[in-house]
């Protein structure tokens, strides 16, 4: 091939004659942007991605990471130091894809110039011996205008054609390299989109109980992760009220208990003063507010309880979010009544939507609230002297300064059905299980890179299709007078496919020769010794049983 | 459920018929043991004969010379029996997949059982078209082997009764994602079949004489081209599959990419096939080395398909085994 091919771009020899930084730099650059390096980096990328799929990842499942480290006291810390718990932002993983990116740019950008030149150039001049091409035919005929007929035919076949007095050169399939360039460049576009998203984007979660609302400001989030360029003012001032949440589960024998329907009825106020709108928030139907998306990412139960203290005052009243621990929504939670007097009170235990007690203890046997019960342990203690002001985790109970309530020497275990109330011993007060609500977890996110990524992927696919399915091909013809009379001519036609595995070259050359019905087959020329390619795939039979081109397929392209 | 029973019975019948078809193809290979072809490894050159009417005078190559042509007459008989049985099995297979979809009142692609049987339906369909139109009958043994093992696993290990979808799967993107995945998977698998045969035939050709059924296969060079075509067909499709999956994930989970094991492995598969395509364009890598990379690609695909579902917990595993 006339242009720098991929083979020529393989790693040059190490610099031994020209020491010095420049030479070294040039050598390193050449090596980095070689096709072989691209291949190795692709392999490394694939291998490096594996551990992250086998070991729990901190950004996804931090609790499992901690469990893993606790379970593997030797291996855990080693993995941790190697970054195995956060593979996809580890230095070595980043290094691989950044090197790949650099290699890609270094490889592709120079090819843009080459391609631009090739676009402006005429098809290359005919090689000296056309019968060395992978496919060629040589005939004798008596038609001095044969070349122009061939040129016309090739133009009709959408080749770019250049002629001389004795030769025709033709080329087509320029879009293939365009597709290749566009594909690789769009990969960088995708990475730009990812980078934009991770710098300016954010994603946060907030648990909202039915009947309650969420306003989009930092204090309302249970957790939020945001990029380095994110600032609090990027949060759009919308509000969402969760009016109700509806869940259905499989009651049949197959996949018993699997989720079937989740729908939250929400009211969205896009900005203060805006007209509220009602929306159905479902798993595959996020609510969007401008460029912010709100997804339904989890749900659970919030038992409604009322705690009265020893003095008969209401010390706590309302729904308490319990967190599901398994697929049957055995849910764990804590109720705190720090203002109860004379002793402050706290409760810890389970909400079970379909309660049962067996040798595994109390647990739920179905995710829907069919027979809900509340199981609680009770703690009491003197009021805190000073409120420390440090925020407490609402899902865990810090028992310092508290004492577990017991009866007859055993820890007191309350078991309540909805609508029941229990009087605590020692005049500590009462606790009532009034009913329950469901809560939903709203995931609020802004991903500013997504449009760029979508564009990048779309362009990549188009480029890929061009690159894989456009058939670049060159065809040459030469007409030379034979014999003294000057009326006999030898016509040679040869062709070359510039990409793997293309169909129809033989037919195309054949068709050109067939333009001249009275041409005669010339003497068998010598063997081809194609120098351009390792592997010639010039033959063009359709796949056939016996490895031979089948007669019925031959004329198809004509 | 009436219809789902019918579906299961049709699938089991398909399995049995595929098994018999595979046995027929095995016999076909066995009786071909006397065949032998001398192969001279030359760069091929095709002369276009001119003068004669179009298509009459065909380019020929002279590199293969049959040494012994004691072709057992049973050979073509077994081959035909195998093909006809494969067609019959395919009919049962089709009934099994379609009635399953009707029984479930949705596309039958929601769990491993359904996905494997659907993918294999595409594989066999592509093979039957290839055999009828392009003389791809040489792939019979491997395609029936794949179908027998795959459906056998599906009906025994992965079988689950018909059930509706979990909410996360209620999405058109789910349908797009799965159907493109199944078609791409079919092409990757057929590409792998051609690649394996290429490696085997290529080894034989290097020795000079190709014996037994290998003599009936297309030349190594052509097998390589066929393998490439399957891969070139499925790579863009797989790219699109991943993209469609990302769109679906964005709708369902609010993030288009989360390094979930399933996502990670589909990317690994994608990168492996990208390496294959690069290897084909790199001096010193095309040919056997590239073929090995393609097989690594299909291995990562199968690991993603079975290994990840069975071994690694992740969001996708809630599609159920
Ligand atoms: C994320 C990384 C990459 C991916 C996914 C990728 C993917 C691909 C694919 C699928 C093809 C096949 C298209 C075809 O056969 O025409 C291809 C071709 C090519 N790639 Fe890449 N590539 C990557 C990185 C690179 C790098 C780093 C280089 C340069 C060092 C490179 C250079 C090339 C070249 C020159 C071709 C064309 C080969 C030919 O002419 O047939 N690629 N690439």
Across the range B261-267, mean pLDDT stands at: 92
For A290, other C-beta atoms within 10 Å of its C-beta total 10
Name the residue facing A254 among B61, B161, B239 (closest C-beta).
Answer: B161
Per-residue pLDDT of chain A (558 residues; tens, 9 = 90+): 333 344 344 444 454 555 688 888 888 888 887 888 899 999 999 999 999 888 888 887 788 888 889 888 999 999 999 989 989 888 999 999 999 999 999 989 999 999 999 899 889 899 888 878 878 888 888 888 889 999 999 999 999 999 998 999 999 999 999 999 999 999 999 999 999 988 999 999 999 999 999 999 898 998 888 888 888 888 999 999 999 999 988 887 777 888 888 899 999 999 999 999 999 998 888 999 988 999 998 899 999 999 999 898 999 999 999 999 888 899 999 999 988 888 899 999 999 999 988 888 888 889 999 999 999 999 999 988 766 666 677 888 888 889 999 888 888 999 999 999 999 988 899 999 999 999 999 999 998 989 999 999 999 999 999 999 888 899 999 998 876 666 688 888 888 887 665 667 888 888 888 888 877 776 443 322 222 222 333 332 222 222 333 333 333 332
Asked if A196 and A449 touch (Cβ cutoff 8 Å), the reply is yes
Same domain, B192 and B286: yes
Same domain, B135 and B180: no
Ligand 1 test: best mutation among A10, A38, A103, A181, most atoms within 8 Å of CB?
Answer: A38
User: CB under 8 Å, gap of 24 or more: what pairs does A415-423 form?
Assistant: A415/A362, A415/A373, A415/A374, A415/A375, A416/A373, A416/A374, A416/A375, A416/A376, A417/A372, A417/A373, A417/A374, A418/A372
Taking the centre of ligand 1 as the mean of its atom positions, its distance from the CA of residue A186, in whole angstroms, is: 12
The reply to whether residue A6 touches residue B281, judged by beta carbons under 8 angstroms, is yes
Report residue B70: phi and psi, to 5°. -80, 65
How many beta-carbon pairs under 8 angstroms link A with B?
Answer: 233
Same domain, B15 and B134: yes
Mutation for testing the A interface, residue in B51, B215, B268 having most A CBs under 10 Å: B51
Measure the CA–CA gap between A179 and A460, rounded to whole angstroms: 8
Could you identify the residue written with the tokens 């760029």? A452
Same domain, B226 and B305: yes
Asked if A153 and A515 touch (Cβ cutoff 8 Å), the reply is yes
Mutation for testing the A interface, residue in B36, B37, B48, B54 having most A CBs under 10 Å: B48
Beta bridge partner(s), residue A379: A346, A404
Structure tokens at B205: 């050709």
**Domains assigned to chain A:** 23-108 (no CATH), 123-173+472-553 (3.30.310.80), 302-383+396-436 (no CATH)
Same domain, B301 and B222: yes
Same domain, B200 and B302: yes
Measure the CA–CA gap between B286 and B280, rounded to whole angstroms: 4
Would residue B59 count as lying in a domain?
Answer: no
Could you identify the residue written with the tokens 């399995």? B15
The one-character DSSP state at B285 is T
Sorted by sequence, the CB contacts under 8 Å of residue A265 that are 6+ apart come out as: A242, A243, A244, A245, A246, A278, A279, A280, A281
Would residue B50 count as lying in a domain?
Answer: no
Q: Name the nearest CA neighbour of A321 among A387, A414, A261, A393.
A: A393
Would residue B55 count as lying in a domain?
Answer: no
Measure the CA–CA gap between B193 and B223, rounded to whole angstroms: 10
Same domain, B290 and B315: yes
Identify the domain containing residue B269 by its residue range: 173-321
Q: Is residue B285 classed exposed, middle or buried when 0-12, 13-18 and 19+ CB atoms within 10 A define those classes?
A: buried
Sorted by sequence, the CB contacts under 8 Å of residue A26 that are 6+ apart come out as: A15
Same domain, B199 and B150: no
Would residue B309 count as lying in a domain?
Answer: yes
Rg (CA), chain A: 38
Structure tokens at B182: 């199944």
The reply to whether residue B134 touches residue A543, judged by beta carbons under 8 angstroms, is yes
Measure the CA–CA gap between A105 and B278, rounded to whole angstroms: 16
CB contact, 8 Å: A141 with chain B? no
Across the range B201-226, mean pLDDT stands at: 84
Structure tokens at B222: 């052509």
Same domain, B13 and B155: yes
Would residue B94 count as lying in a domain?
Answer: yes
3-class SS at A361?
strand
Report residue A332: phi and psi, to 5°. -110, 140
Residues 220-259 of A with CB under 8 A from B: 250, 252-255, 258-259
Domain's final residue, options B112, B132, B164: B164
CB contact, 8 Å: B4 with chain A? no
Q: Is residue A484 classed exposed, middle or buried when 0-12, 13-18 and 19+ CB atoms within 10 A define those classes?
A: exposed
Would residue B282 count as lying in a domain?
Answer: yes
Could you identify the residue written with the tokens 């309540």? A416
Measure the CA–CA gap between B41 and B220, rounded to whole angstroms: 10
Report residue A287: phi and psi, to 5°. -95, 135
The one-character DSSP state at A548 is S
Same domain, B136 and B186: no
Go through A52-71 and write b for each residue having 16 or more CB atoms within 10 A of its CB, e for each that does not: bbebbbbebeeeebeebbee
Model pLDDT for residues A179-212, shown as the tens digit of each residue: 999 999 999 999 999 999 889 999 999 999 999 9
Name the residue facing B286 among A285, A535, A549 (closest C-beta).
Answer: A535
Sorted by sequence, the CB contacts under 8 Å of residue B73 that are 6+ apart come out as: none
**Tell me, what CATH number does B16's domain have?**
1.20.120
Same domain, B80 and B187: no
Q: A168 CB less than 6 Å from ligand 1?
A: no
The reply to whether residue A501 touches residue B228, judged by beta carbons under 8 angstroms, is yes
Measure the CA–CA gap between A86 and A69, rounded to whole angstroms: 13
Would residue B230 count as lying in a domain?
Answer: yes
Q: Chain A residues with CB inside 8 Å of B55's CB? A: 551, 554-555, 558
Same domain, B232 and B270: yes
Mind spelling out the 3-state secondary structure of A285-333?
ECEEECCEEEEEEEEEEEEEEEEEECCCCEEEEEECCEEECCCCCCEEE
Distance of CA B46 to CAs A221, B42, B57, Å?
72, 12, 12
Sorted by sequence, the CB contacts under 8 Å of residue B9 that are 6+ apart come out as: none
What is the overall mean pLDDT for chain B? 82
Mind spelling out the 3-state secondary structure of A67-114?
HHHHHCCCHHHHHHHHCHHHHHHCHHHHHHHHHHHHHHHHHHHHHHHH
| CA dihedral sign of residues A390, A395, A396, A401 | positive
CB contact, 8 Å: A143 with chain B? no
Would residue B49 count as lying in a domain?
Answer: no
Provide the number of structural domains found in chain B.
Answer: 2
CB contact, 8 Å: B239 with chain A? yes
Structure tokens at A386: 């000073």
**Confidence (pLDDT) at A537:** 35
pTM for this entry: 0.83
Structure tokens at A428: 């500590």
């Amino acid at each position: 091939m006339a242009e720098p091919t991929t083979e020529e771009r393989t790693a040059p020899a190490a610099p031994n004659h020209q020491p010095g930084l420049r030479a070294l730099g040039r050598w390193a650059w050449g090596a980095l942007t070689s096709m072989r390096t691209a291949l190795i980096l692709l392999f490394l990328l694939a291998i490096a991605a594996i551990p992250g799929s086998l070991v729990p990842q901190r950004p996804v499942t931090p609790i499992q990471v901690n469990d893993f480290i606790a379970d593997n006291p030797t291996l855990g810390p080693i993995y941790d130091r190697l970054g195995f718990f956060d593979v996809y932002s580890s230095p070595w993983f980043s290094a691989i894809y950044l090197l790949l990116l650099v290699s890609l740019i270094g490889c592709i950008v120079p090819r843009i110039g080459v391609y631009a030149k090739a676009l402006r150039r005429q098809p290359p001049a005919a090689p000296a011996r056309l019968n060395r091409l992978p496919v060629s035919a040589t005939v004798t005929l008596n038609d001095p205008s044969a070349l122009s007929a061939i040129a016309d035919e090739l133009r009709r076949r959408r080749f770019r054609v250049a002629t001389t007095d004795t030769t025709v050169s033709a080329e087509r399939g320029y879009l293939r390299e365009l597709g290749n360039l566009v594909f690789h460049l769009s990969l960088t576009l995708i990475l730009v989109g990812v980078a934009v998203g991770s710098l300016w984007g954010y994603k946060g979660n907030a648990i909202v109980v039915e009947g309650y609302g969420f306003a989009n400001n930092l204090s309302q989030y249970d957790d939020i992760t945001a990029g380095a360029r994110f600032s609090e003012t990027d949060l759009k001032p919308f509000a969402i009220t969760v009016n109700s949440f509806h869940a259905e589960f499989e009651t049949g024998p197959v996949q018993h208990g699997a989720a079937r329907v989740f729908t939250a009825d929400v009211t969205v106020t896009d900005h203060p003063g805006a007209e509220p709108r009602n929306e159905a928030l479902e798993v595959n139907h996020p609510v969007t507010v401008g460029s912010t998306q709100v997804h339904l990412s989890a749900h659970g139960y919030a038992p409604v309880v009322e705690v009265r203290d020893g003095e008969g005052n209401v010390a706590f009243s309302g729904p308490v979010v319990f967190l599901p621990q398994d697929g049957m929504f055995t849910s764990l939670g804590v109720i705190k009544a720090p203002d109860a007097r004379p002793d402050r009170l706290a409760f810890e235990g389970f909400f079970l939507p379909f309660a049962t007690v067996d040798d595994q203890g109390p647990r739920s046997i179905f995710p829907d609230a069919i027979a809900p019960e509340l199981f609680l342990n009770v703690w009491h203690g003197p009021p805190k002297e000073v409120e420390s002001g440090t925020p407490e985790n609402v899902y865990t109970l810090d028992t310092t300064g508290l004492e577990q309530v017991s009866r007859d020497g055993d820890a007191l275990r309350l078991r309540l059905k909805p609508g029941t109330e229990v009087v605590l011993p020692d005049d500590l007060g009462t606790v009532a299980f009034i009913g329950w609500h469901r809560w939903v977890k709203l995931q609020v996110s802004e991903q500013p890179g997504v449009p760029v990524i979508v564009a990048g992927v779309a362009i990549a696919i188009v480029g890929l299709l061009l690159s894989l399915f456009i058939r670049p091909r060159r065809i040459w013809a030469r007409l030379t007078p034979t014999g003294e009379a000057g009326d006999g001519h030898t016509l040679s036609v040869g062709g070359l496919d510039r990409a793997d595995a293309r169909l129809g070259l033989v037919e195309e050359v054949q068709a050109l020769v067939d333009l001249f019905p009275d041409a005669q087959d010339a003497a068998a020329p010598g063997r081809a010794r194609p120098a351009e390619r390792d592997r010639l795939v010039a033959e063009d039979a359709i796949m056939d049983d016996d490895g031979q081109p089948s007669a019925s397929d031959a004329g198809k392209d004509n | 459920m009436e219809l789902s029973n019918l579906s299961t019975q049709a699938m089991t019948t398909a399995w049995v018929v595929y098994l018999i078809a595979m046995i027929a193809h095995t016999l076909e290979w066995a009786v071909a043991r006397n065949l032998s072809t001398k192969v001279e490894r030359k760069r091929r050159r095709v002369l276009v004969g001119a003068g004669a009417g179009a298509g009459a005078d065909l380019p020929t190559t002279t590199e293969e010379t049959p040494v012994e042509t004691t072709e057992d007459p049973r050979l073509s008989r077994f081959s035909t029996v195998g093909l006809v049985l494969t067609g019959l099995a395919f009919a049962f297979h089709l009934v099994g997949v379609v009635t399953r979809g009707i029984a479930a009142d949705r596309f039958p692609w929601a769990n491993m059982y359904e996905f494997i049987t659907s993918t294999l339906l595409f594989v066999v369909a592509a093979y039957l078209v290839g055999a009828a139109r392009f003389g791809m009958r040489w792939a019979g043994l491997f395609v029936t082997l794949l179908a027998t093992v795959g459906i056998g696993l599906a009906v025994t290990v992965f079988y689950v009764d018909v059930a509706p979808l979990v909410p996360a799967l209620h999405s058109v993107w789910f349908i797009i994602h799965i159907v493109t995945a199944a078609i791409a998977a079919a092409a990757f698998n057929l590409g792998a079949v051609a690649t394996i045969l290429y490696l085997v035939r290529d080894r034989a050709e290097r020795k000079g004489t190709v014996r037994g059924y290998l003599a009936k296969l297309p030349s190594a060079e052509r097998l390589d081209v066929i393998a490439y075509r399957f891969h070139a067909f499925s790579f863009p499709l797989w790219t699109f599959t991943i993209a469609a999956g990302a769109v679906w994930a964005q709708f369902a989970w609010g993030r288009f990419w989360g390094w979930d094991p399933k996502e990670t492995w589909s990317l690994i598969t994608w990168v492996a096939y990208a390496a294959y395509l690069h290897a084909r364009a790199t001096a010193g890598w095309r040919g056997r080395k590239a073929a090995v990379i393609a097989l690594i690609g299909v291995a990562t695909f199968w690991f993603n398909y079975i290994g990840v579902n069975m071994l690694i917990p992740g969001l996708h595993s809630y599609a159920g085994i």
